Structure 1
Amino acid sequence: MRVGNSDMANYGAFLNGEYAITPNLSAYGTLGFSRKNGKAGGFYRLPSQTSQVDLTLYPNGYLPFINTAITDFSGIAGLRGELGKWSFDISNTYGTNIIDFRVTNSMNASLPRNSPAEFNAGTLSFAQNTVNLDLSRRLTFDKTLTALNIAFGSEFRIDNFIIKEGEELSWSFGQPSKGIAGVPGRTSGAQVFSGFHPKSALNKSRRNVALYADFEQEFGPKLLTEVAGRFEHYSDFGSNLSGKASARWKVFQDIALRGAFATGFRAPSLHQHYFNTVSMQYPTASPNPIQVLTANNDNPVVRQFGVGSLKPEISTSYSAGIVGKIFKKI
């Protein structure tokens, strides 16, 4: 048995750049790539564990490994500049995370003979593409209203979550595609990590549109107020309007009072909503392993346990404080 951190190898590369097209317009971009390869050992399968060991393949038992290859990619492309008295920034951001699972030095104990030692156990992937448009302007005044900062923006986002099934022998009992029956009393799938079953495989997407406005008002050198609002519409969780109001009052040269009120909204992620899998567990009080289903929120079985549909998180927050310097050097 191996105890401790898994073997790991990381590498990556990132590139940032900006090019001035005109004095009032520039293009910018970012590219990022990283890869993390991991290898983690499971529990040693002893020769006496006959439901998990074929002694003709591993007469002394074996230590199975979960191998992961995690790939991250991100890219940003945009234009920003000045249009009259307004500043603008329009961009597209794409990012993806892919986790490939392989099992090595293992076996499918349910096969009557010739089990492979390596398995493609499936893939999890998530991708997100976001288009943003931001506009801002600062208005200055000569009297009580010193300045007003205005910002508007919009966002369109697409999320995509995929579970790809593993190869048949990574999850099967026997090999149904070839008419090979499983050995009674033996466990199905690859030992240490059963592959994703075809019934777990899915491809789900969501769209989100948002609009926001932000107003920051300066009343001379002592008082600053801000009011902001954001409207969002999710293709699967409906619409929401959230906002924020805050103020900062400079009482003395180095002392200020601040306070804020805000509401928040967060829709459940696609992973929270749709992830599902079937795994094997080995209770200490039972000689036989059991299959455990991790059901997603769309599975009818969760309703039988009184679990309702997932709901967005809605929050309300208040804050107040004093900021400043107690002493000149602190």
Structure 2
Amino acid sequence: MTAYRTALTLAVSTLAFASAQAAYAQNAPLPAASDPAAALPDTQDDIIVTGTRSVGRSRLDSASPVDVLSSAALQRQGTTELGAALSAIAPSIDFPRPSAVDGTDAIRPATLRGLSPDQTLVLINGVRGHTAALLNVGGSVGRGSAAVDLNTIPTVALDRIEVLRDGASAQYGSDAIAGVVNLRLREARSGGGATVNYGFYNTDIDTARGSRSTNGEHAVTVSGWQGVGFGEDGFLTVSGEYLNRQATNRADFDPRVTPSRVTGRFGDPAVEQYSIFANAGTTLTGSWKLYGWLGYQDRDTRSAAFPRLASATTALAGYPDGFLPIINTKSRDLNSAVGIKGEVADWSVDLNVSYGRNKIGFRTLNSANYAYGSATPKDFSDGALVYDQLVAGLDVSRKLDVLQGLNVAFGLEGRREGFQIQAGERASYDYPVAGTITGAAANAAPGAQGFGGFSPANEVDRHRRNGSVYLDLEAQVTDKLLVGLAGRGEDYSDFGTTATGKISARYDFAPWFALRGTASTGFRAPALQQQYFTSIATVIQNGNPIQTGTFPSVSPVATRLGGLPLEPEKSTNLSVGTVFRFGRFDLTVDAYRIRIRNQIGLSENITTSATQSAAVNAQITSLLAGSGATAARFFINGLASTTKGIDAVAHYRLPTDAAGTFDFTIAGNINDSDVTRVPTSTSTLNPAPVLFARSRILTLEDGTPGEKVTGSIDWSLDRLGALARVTYYGDVNQPGTTEAADVHSGKHLITDVELRYQATKGAQLGLGVSNLFDVYPDATVVANNVTGVIGFPYYSPFGFNGRYLYARAGLSW
């Protein structure tokens, strides 16, 4: 094993001699619309639209670090899941694959620079995207966040992605504390393509209590796109994707049954989804153009709760051998926008309106409500979460002949958000109507086992509005000095006003060397989901399920425990970096420091405990009486943290006459987060319970890898190509309530390889292996896995599924 790791480390070091991945290297100009297999262009002149409102600025000429990721790079790997594909090629992005965390199994969030998923703003064609209706309240990375679901956008619909690794609230508004991910949709008047991806796992699973192998758990993705031209320059690009993925299972052997066997299901959920996107634009008259897009996704996800072993209670409910509850999540997502842009008196004007909506319905299948006894239903409709967002924006800009060029941009934005919780059927959350059921289990708690439904008491329908105004100036002071200033003011109907600012500068000492830096303030408004979400659900703590109530911070329960009205998070971002370029080689190194104040966090699960006084335990029991919960939690401001790190991206492109073209890349992120303050409780209980203990703090500090380095070689010769990629992941801690209960992923190297045949027009083939050497995170130790369900830490940044073999066949025209 030592020799194996040494060899792979040496391989990464060898790649470092040349550097930087083809993913960062593509897009100026793009290959022809019908040519996804064309040779990769030289990327030093990649034109960006994120982080700057000046026309024609490239990624290497910007004052802030921006990655440009092509659709081809996203598709040259085993996964078709956008979040996972981004994580594989962008070291600053992390995409854990949680399991056994209810809805977060289905709506999986990504992080940037180790910060919370909701501290990264996601744009679609430069327009604010909407968050998912889901609030991540399970024990996963991003606990307590309501983030944009990247996987609602199929990769086939994308032309490229621009990742701004810098605070940008002054430019784009709330959420852009860590940075911005701008999804640029495909635009084509002609051409098209269709692709089928098929893959399966071939892996040896070594858990703490035993070993086994699997050769299956397949996934199939069928995708296609077509460009249609009309008028003089009009285009309509339609893209579609269908995914069918079987569930994976990496649970350990259950010591509670004899003989010991796997009783749980721990891994990726089963998914069936279809997505469709249409992007269009045309000239109306003169300089005025009409544009818009419409996308819809339907996703059916099935994950598993903890198994219920055979008992007298399960037998009464109709399961003499026990049962495994299935959590069925049905997500329907809509993305739409329409806009018009042109010129008025030499000013460029862009007016657009967008609407997004996400509805997540929940069902619990193969389950029981013990309070109904033998009359219990087996399947339950648990209710739904709904979030929608309406945004209207006006952007105006012009380049003036001041200094060596002054770009002036200003604009307005208005936004309306809504959040609903819809109740499920009575059997999913309550006792039966008195006198209607006989033979019920004595003293049984009500609700569907695995995932209890939302009750009428949980129902909410809340809205808020906000308006903002911004000014963005960018001046080329001399031929060497670039200076930018931006300011933004926002007013929210629920908490008032806030203002942010940003200054950026860049100095080119020589054509081959430049220094750049930024300083900015940022903010994130509390999500409606954080303000109003309420439920009673099973939460896993130290491997044990606990019935936990999540209460709004201003509810009577939360107020007595220390809850207060939520306020915006505030941040201060500082960055400094360098840009080197020599011919076909380029290197960027950027250091950053992000200080977040008044950060919102989801409190500890406050419950009775042998370590607390009898008086406090009695107060908590009384407070939760009648709620169906034995623990309570709520959101509260007051956390402070400092995140420091370095991003480095190097790329060298080597064209040869006989051997083809080689793209070498090494890209890395070193990141360190420290929680420097936790809020003081204002609870009326005496003594006050602890709101944030080590598990919550360490999740923020150690939930993502402190080091991640990716090295790759992408080779192409005429229609043939190959990719080899090695990624190093630092250790991640899935913390427990004590150090002995911590679960570490360990430090690991993941190797991916792919061979491909791609014609400009015609057949396209690809064969590849993700995780070639079948590497897993460190197995969960026996002491932290009393049920045997959780075989591996679900904080693992590369998942816990093992080796994946795949084939891709397509046709372009």
TM-score, length-normalised on structure 2? 0.38
CA–CA separation in structure 1 for the residues paired with 2:580 and 2:497: 40
CA RMSD between the two structures = 2.3
C-alpha displacement of 1:84: 2.0
Q: Any idea what the Cα deviations from partners look like across 1:248-289, whole Å, max 9, x if unmatched?
A: 1222232222222211111111111111101256999x9xx9
1:1-330 alignment, distance < 5 Å: 1-3=263-265, 4-48=267-311, 50=313, 53-55=314-316, 57-141=318-402, 145-176=403-434, 183-280=441-538, 291-325=547-581, 327-330=582-585
C-alpha displacement of 1:180: 5.2
Which SS does the other structure have where 2:428 is aligned? helix
Which SS does the other structure have where 1:229 is aligned? strand
Q: Any idea what the Cα deviations from partners look like across 1:90-132, whole Å, max 9, x if unmatched?
A: 0011111111111122221101442221111010111111000
- The answer to whether the 8 Å contact 1:112/1:174 transfers is no
Aligned residue type for 2:337: I
Structure showing greater Rg: 1
Aligned residue type for 1:36: R
Q: Any idea what the Cα deviations from partners look like across 1:234-258, whole Å, max 9, x if unmatched?
A: 1112101111111212222322222
Structure scoring higher RCO (CA < 8 A, sep ≥ 6) equals: 2
- The answer to whether the 8 Å contact 1:27/1:78 transfers is yes
99-108 or 316-325: bigger deviation? 316-325
CA–CA separation in structure 1 for the residues paired with 2:475 and 2:549: 55
CA–CA separation in structure 1 for the residues paired with 2:290 and 2:559: 51
CA–CA separation in structure 1 for the residues paired with 2:539 and 2:329: 21
Which SS does the other structure have where 2:271 is aligned? strand
Shift in alpha-carbon separation, 1:33–1:265, aligned structure 2, 3 A: same
C-alpha displacement of 1:321: 2.6
C-alpha displacement of 1:322: 2.6
Shift in alpha-carbon separation, 1:274–1:225, aligned structure 2, 3 A: same
Shift in alpha-carbon separation, 1:49–1:316, aligned structure 2, 3 A: farther
Shift in alpha-carbon separation, 1:160–1:258, aligned structure 2, 3 A: same
- The answer to whether the 8 Å contact 2:554/2:563 transfers is no
More strand by share: 1
Q: How many residues align?
A: 321
CA–CA separation in structure 1 for the residues paired with 2:526 and 2:310: 45
CA–CA separation in structure 1 for the residues paired with 2:299 and 2:371: 32
CA–CA separation in structure 1 for the residues paired with 2:360 and 2:504: 42
- The answer to whether the 8 Å contact 1:169/1:175 transfers is no
C-alpha displacement of 1:54: 4.5
- The answer to whether the 8 Å contact 1:245/1:260 transfers is yes
CA–CA separation in structure 1 for the residues paired with 2:292 and 2:447: 45
CA–CA separation in structure 2 for the residues paired with 1:277 and 1:193: 10
Which SS does the other structure have where 1:80 is aligned? strand
C-alpha displacement of 1:186: 1.5
- The answer to whether the 8 Å contact 2:316/2:441 transfers is no
Shift in alpha-carbon separation, 1:281–1:261, aligned structure 2, 3 A: closer
Aligned residue type for 1:246: S
CA–CA separation in structure 2 for the residues paired with 1:204 and 1:83: 39
Which SS does the other structure have where 1:272 is aligned? helix
Shift in alpha-carbon separation, 1:300–1:255, aligned structure 2, 3 A: same
C-alpha displacement of 1:59: 2.9
- The answer to whether the 8 Å contact 2:375/2:437 transfers is no
Q: Any idea what the Cα deviations from partners look like across 1:47-105, whole Å, max 9, x if unmatched?
A: 3152xx24362333322211111111110111011112011110011111111111122
CA–CA separation in structure 1 for the residues paired with 2:424 and 2:496: 34
- The answer to whether the 8 Å contact 2:392/2:415 transfers is yes
C-alpha displacement of 1:301: 1.6
Which SS does the other structure have where 2:529 is aligned? helix
- The answer to whether the 8 Å contact 2:325/2:364 transfers is yes
- The answer to whether the 8 Å contact 2:317/2:375 transfers is no
- The answer to whether the 8 Å contact 1:54/1:109 transfers is no
Which SS does the other structure have where 1:63 is aligned? coil
